[in-house]
C-alpha cells in the first residue's frame, strides 16, 4: 500500500528553535492543529498575543524569543511532548485505519483531487463557502482514513473578500493580503533543489507558477501561485482573487489550475491512479492530460477515451451560476497555444463542452467534464434526481448520489466532543464497523448534555457580543448602545441560527414574510426567541446584497427590539461558533435548488436541531424524530405562493412545536423533551453525514473503479509492448 506522498520543500524561513522544541515546527507547518484543539491550546499557551493576532502558529515559531520560560514549564513541556508523540503516531503510516483494512492493496498511486477553493481554517482564507469547506473536510478525512491522496488548488494572495456591513446595511468588500511566510505553507522544491515552477502556455507568453505545499495531516495540498517575479506584471494577479468577476481572468485562473496543476504533479513524479474534479473549474486538467497523450503518439479519440477511464467528477449545484460557462471564442483564443503542435483539435474540445442548450457559442465546463469522465456524482440523493434530469442529454450513464458529509473533529464544539469521547468515540478514526458510538448517544445523562449545550451557547454569546460591539462602534453608535450589546444573545433565550451564502434562492428573509406575526413570536415575554444571521453575497450578486441590507435594516427596527442580530464577515471561525451554539438551525431554500448543504449537518452533530425545507441533505436526513420539516416535498410552480405557504408553516412550527418544547422544563429546569430531539439529532447525523461515510462511498463507487480502469489499461499496454 502507498502510505504517504513526500513532497520536497525548501526549508521555511525562521529562527532556530532549541533542540528540545524542534518538534514545534512539525506541528506548526501541518494543518493537523486545525482539527486538534489541544494542539491549538498548546500554541496559545506559548504566546497568546501571537495566536490572537494571526490565529495560526507559524508566526509564533518564527519569532526570536527567550525560550527558557517555556523550557522551565514542566506542565507545558509534558503536554508538548505528549501532543508531538500523538502527531508522529498519526503521521506514521495509517495502518489499521479504514482504507488500510478494507482496500490497502488496491491503490499503488494516489487520488489527485482538483478544486478551485479549500476551506481548511479561517487563517488560510482561500475559500468562499460551502464548496471550499467541503473540499477542506474532504482532505482532512482522507488523511484520517489514510487514503492515498493529493490535493491541487490555487494560492490566492488576496483570497476571498472580507465583509463589513455599513450603518445602512450595505455590504462592503475588502481583500486581505496573505503573506505565505506567515502561513503553514512551504515552497515546493524541484529536482535541482531550487524552487519548483511550472509553465502554462498562453497567448504570446508562458505564465509561470510557483507551487506551495500545505500539509493536511497525511495529505499534501499543492497550491499554484502566479505572483512571482518570473511573470510579467500583468500576469502576476492571475491567482490573486478567488472567483474574480472578470470572465477572461477567470478562464486564466482555471487554465492555471487544470494545466498547471497537472504539470506540478508530473514535475514531482506523482502518478495518480484516479483523477477527481470537484466541480468544473479544473476541467482543463482533462484537456492537458489529453494533450500529453497525443504528444506521446496516441490518436485523439483514443486519448480522450484513456483520460476518461480514470477521471471522476462531482457536480455541486443545479443553479446555473455554479456551472461555469465561457464564450467559445475566448476559449479558442486562450487555449490555442496550449494545444499547438500536439495534434489536439480545439474544435473537438469545444464540441465536447456544448451545454444542454446546444449553444455552440458557449463552452460549458460542467458538460465537458461530464463527457470526459468515467463517473460522476451529485451531492445528495435528491440532487442526483435533479442532475440526471438536467444533464440527461449529456451523460451516457446515471449520475450517482453521494451525499456530502462534514468532518466531525473540525466542527464539534469542545463540550460536545467530550460527551462523544465519554462514549468511546475516536473522532480521528470514525468507523461504523468497529466503533458505532453514536448508537449510545441516548445514554448521555440529560443534565450533562444540557450543561455542555449551555456552555457552547455561552461561548457563542461572548464571541458575538464582541463582534457586534466592534461592528456598531465603527458605525458611530453611542456608548449606551454598545453597553447594551454586552448583554446580547441571552443564552437563556431560544436561539435560531441562519448562516450561509446569501443567494436569493436560499430565501434568508423568508422568516420575515409576516413581520407582525414574527414580532409576536420573538417578543413573547414568557417564551422569547432570538435569531442570529451571518453570510456573504458575492460582490457581483446585487440581489443577494439587497437581501443582506434588508435583514440588517430589520434587525435595527424597533418592532424586533434587539431580537435579531447580523454578524458580519462570515467565515469558518464564525461558522464554528454558530453551528455549536444556537438551539435551532434554520434552512429555507427553494426546493430543489439546494444541492446538499452542510451547515445543518455540523449543527446536528453538536445537538442543534434542524428546522428546514426538505431539500438537499435534509430530504434524506429528516426522520421525524431529529428535527422539523418545513412544508412538504410538493412544490408549486408559483414561487410567490410557495414562499407564502412555506413561511406560514414555519410560523406554525415555531408557535406550536419548537418554542413550547424548548421552554417545557422538568422540576430541575431541564427541557427533557428537547433533549430527546437533540440526542436523536446527534445519533442519526454524526456518522451518516460525516466525511468518513462520504469518502467510503467515493472510494468504493468512484475511485477504485477508476483506478481499476487505469490498471487494466496499463496491463494491456504492457502486454502489447511485450508481444511486439
Mean pLDDT of the chain, nearest integer: 95
Asked whether residue 423 is domain-assigned, the answer is: yes
Q: What is the average per-residue pLDDT within 225-244?
A: 97
Same domain, 611 and 631: yes
Same domain, 385 and 415: no
Using pLDDT thresholds of 50, 70 and 90, give the confidence band for residue 715: low
Which CATH number covers residue 715? 3.40.50.2000
Asked whether residue 366 is domain-assigned, the answer is: yes
Asked whether residue 718 is domain-assigned, the answer is: yes
H or E element in which residue 376 lies: strand 375-378
Using pLDDT thresholds of 50, 70 and 90, give the confidence band for residue 716: low
Same domain, 249 and 303: yes
Using pLDDT thresholds of 50, 70 and 90, give the confidence band for residue 719: low
Same domain, 500 and 637: yes
Same domain, 452 and 487: yes
Same domain, 396 and 414: no
For residue 478, the SS3 value is coil
Asked whether residue 70 is domain-assigned, the answer is: yes
Q: Locate 188 and state its grid cell.
A: 515546493
pLDDT value, residue 415: 98
Same domain, 224 and 333: yes
Pairwise CA distance, residues 158 & 619, whole Å? 37
Write out the residue range of the structural domain in which residue 504 sits: 410-689
What is the dihedral sign for C-alpha 180, 182, 186, 192? positive
- DSSP secondary structure string, 677-697? HHHHHHHHHTTTTBHHHHHHH
Asked whether residue 243 is domain-assigned, the answer is: yes
Using pLDDT thresholds of 50, 70 and 90, give the confidence band for residue 25: very high
Same domain, 430 and 463: yes
pLDDT in tens, 574-620: 999 999 999 999 999 999 999 999 999 999 999 999 999 999 999 99
Q: What is the average per-residue pLDDT within 276-300?
A: 97
Same domain, 421 and 374: no
| Residue environment code for 512-537, b if the CB has 16+ CB neighbours within 10 A, otherwise e | bbeeebbbebbeeeeebbbbbbbbbb
Same domain, 701 and 684: no
495 with 583: CB under 8 angstroms?
yes
* Backbone φ and ψ of 463, nearest 5°: -65, -45
pLDDT in tens, 521-550: 999 999 999 999 999 999 999 999 999 999
Asked whether residue 544 is domain-assigned, the answer is: yes
Same domain, 180 and 204: yes
Asked whether residue 13 is domain-assigned, the answer is: no
Residue 724 scores a pLDDT above 80:
no
pLDDT in tens, 119-138: 999 999 999 989 999 999 99
Residue 169 scores a pLDDT above 70:
yes
What are the Cα distances from residue 590, in Å, to 438, 509, 584? Answer: 31, 12, 19
Instruction: Give me the residue label for grid cell 409576516.
Output: 514
pLDDT value, residue 2: 59
pLDDT value, residue 3: 66
pLDDT in tens, 318-332: 876 668 999 999 999
Same domain, 236 and 385: yes
pLDDT in tens, 468-514: 999 999 999 999 999 999 999 999 999 999 999 999 999 999 999 99
Q: Locate 482 and state its grid cell.
A: 454598545
In the chain, the number of structural domains is: 3
Residue 484: which region, alpha, beta or left (left: phi > 0; alpha: psi -120 to 50)?
alpha
Q: Locate 241 and state its grid cell.
A: 482573487
Q: What is the average per-residue pLDDT within 87-105?
A: 89
H or E element in which residue 327 lies: strand 325-327
pLDDT value, residue 721: 53
Amino acid at each position: 500500500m502507498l502510505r504517504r506522498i513526500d513532497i520536497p520543500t525548501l526549508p521555511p524561513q525562521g529562527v532556530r528553535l532549541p533542540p528540545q522544541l524542534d518538534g514545534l515546527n512539525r506541528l506548526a507547518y501541518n494543518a493537523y492543529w486545525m482539527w486538534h484543539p489541544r494542539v491549538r491550546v498548546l500554541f496559545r499557551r506559548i504566546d497568546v498575543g501571537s495566536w490572537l493576532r494571526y490565529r495560526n502558529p507559524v508566526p509564533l515559531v518564527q519569532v526570536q524569543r527567550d525560550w527558557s520560560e517555556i523550557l522551565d514549564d514542566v506542565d507545558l513541556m509534558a503536554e508538548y511532548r505528549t501532543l508531538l508523540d500523538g502527531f508522529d503516531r498519526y503521521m506514521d503510516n495509517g495502518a489499521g485505519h479504514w482504507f488500510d483494512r478494507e482496500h490497502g492493496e488496491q491503490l499503488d498511486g494516489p487520488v489527485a483531487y482538483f478544486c478551485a477553493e479549500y476551506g481548511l481554517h479561517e487563517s488560510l482564507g482561500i475559500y468562499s463557502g460551502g464548496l471550499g469547506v467541503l473540499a477542506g473536510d474532504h482532505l482532512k478525512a482522507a488523511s484520517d482514513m489514510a487514503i492515498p491522496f493529493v490535493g491541487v488548488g490555487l494560492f490566492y494572495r488576496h483570497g476571498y473578500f472580507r465583509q463589513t456591513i455599513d450603518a445602512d446595511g450595505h455590504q462592503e468588500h475588502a481583500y486581505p493580503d496573505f503573506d505565505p511566510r506567515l502561513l503553514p505553507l512551504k515552497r515546493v522544491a524541484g529536482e535541482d533543489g531550487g524552487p519548483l515552477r511550472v509553465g502554462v502556455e498562453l497567448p504570446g507568453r508562458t505564465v509561470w507558477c510557483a507551487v506551495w505545499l500545505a500539509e493536511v495531516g497525511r495529505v499534501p495540498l499543492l497550491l499554484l501561485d502566479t505572483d512571482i517575479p518570473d511573470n510579467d506584471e500583468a500576469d502576476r494577479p492571475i491567482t490573486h482573487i478567488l472567483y474574480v468577476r472578470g470572465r477572461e481572468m477567470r478562464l486564466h485562473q482555471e487554465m492555471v489550475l487544470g494545466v498547471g496543476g497537472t504539470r506540478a504533479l508530473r514535475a514531482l513524479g506523482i502518478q495518480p491512479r484516479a483523477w477527481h474534479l470537484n466541480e468544473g473549474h479544473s476541467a482543463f486538467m482533462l484537456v492537458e492530460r489529453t494533450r500529453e497523450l497525443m504528444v506521446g503518439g496516441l490518436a485523439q479519440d483514443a486519448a480522450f477515451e484513456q483520460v476518461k477511464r480514470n477521471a471522476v467528477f462531482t457536480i455541486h449545484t443545479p443553479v446555473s451560476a455554479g456551472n461555469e460557462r465561457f464564450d467559445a471564442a475566448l476559449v479558442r483564443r486562450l487555449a490555442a497555444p496550449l494545444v499547438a503542435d500536439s495534434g489536439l483539435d480545439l474544435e473537438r474540445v469545444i464540441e465536447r463542452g456544448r451545454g444542454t442548450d446546444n449553444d455552440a457559442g458557449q463552452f460549458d465546463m460542467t458538460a465537458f467534464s461530464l463527457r470526459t469522465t468515467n463517473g460522476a456524482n451529485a451531492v445528495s440523493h435528491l440532487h442526483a434526481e435533479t442532475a440526471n434530469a438536467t444533464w440527461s442529454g449529456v451523460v451516457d450513464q446515471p449520475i450517482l448520489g453521494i451525499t456530502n458529509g462534514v468532518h466531525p473533529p473540525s466542527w464539534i464544539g469542545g463540550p460536545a466532543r467530550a460527551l462523544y469521547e465519554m462514549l468511546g468515540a475516536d473522532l480521528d478514526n470514525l468507523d461504523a464497523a468497529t466503533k458505532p458510538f453514536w448508537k449510545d448517544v441516548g445514554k448521555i445523562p440529560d443534565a450533562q448534555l444540557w450543561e455542555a449545550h449551555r456552555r457552547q451557547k455561552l461561548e457563542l454569546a461572548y464571541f458575538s457580543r464582541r463582534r457586534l460591539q466592534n461592528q456598531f462602534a465603527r458605525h458611530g453608535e453611542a456608548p449606551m448602545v454598545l453597553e447594551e450589546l454586552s448583554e446580547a444573545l441571552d443564552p437563556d433565550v431560544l436561539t435560531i441560527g441562519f448562516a450561509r451564502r446569501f443567494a436569493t434562492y436560499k430565501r434568508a428573509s423568508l422568516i420575515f414574510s409576516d413581520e407582525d406575526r414574527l414580532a409576536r413570536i420573538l417578543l413573547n415575554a414568557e417564551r422569547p426567541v432570538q435569531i442570529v444571521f451571518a453570510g456573504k453575497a458575492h460582490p457581483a450578486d446585487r440581489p443577494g446584497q439587497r437581501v443582506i441590507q434588508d435583514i440588517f435594516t430589520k434587525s435595527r427596527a424597533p418592532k424586533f427590539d434587539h431580537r435579531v442580530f447580523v454578524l458580519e464577515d462570515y467565515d469558518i471561525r464564525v461558522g464554528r461558533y454558530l453551528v455549536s451554539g444556537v438551539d435551532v438551525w434554520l434552512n429555507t431554500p427553494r426546493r430543489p435548488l439546494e444541492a446538499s448543504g452542510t451547515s445543518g449537518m455540523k449543527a446536528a452533530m453538536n445537538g442543534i436541531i434542524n428546522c428546514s425545507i426538505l431539500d438537499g441533505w435534509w430530504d434524506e436526513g429528516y426522520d421525524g424524530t431529529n428535527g422539523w420539516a418545513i412544508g412538504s416535498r410538493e412544490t408549486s410552480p408559483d414561487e410567490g405562493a410557495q414562499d407564502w405557504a412555506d413561511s406560514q408553516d414555519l410560523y406554525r412550527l415555531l408557535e406550536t412545536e419548537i418554542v413550547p418544547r424548548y421552554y417545557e422544563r422538568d422540576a430541575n429546569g431541564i427541557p427533557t423533551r428537547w433533549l430527546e430531539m437533540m440526542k436523536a439529532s446527534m445519533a442519526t447525523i454524526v456518522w451518516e453525514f460525516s466525511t468518513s461515510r462520504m469518502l467510503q462511498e467515493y472510494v468504493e463507487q468512484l475511485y477504485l473503479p477508476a483506478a481499476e480502469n487505469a490498471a487494466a489499461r496499463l496491463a494491456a499496454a504492457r502486454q502489447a509492448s511485450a508481444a511486439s
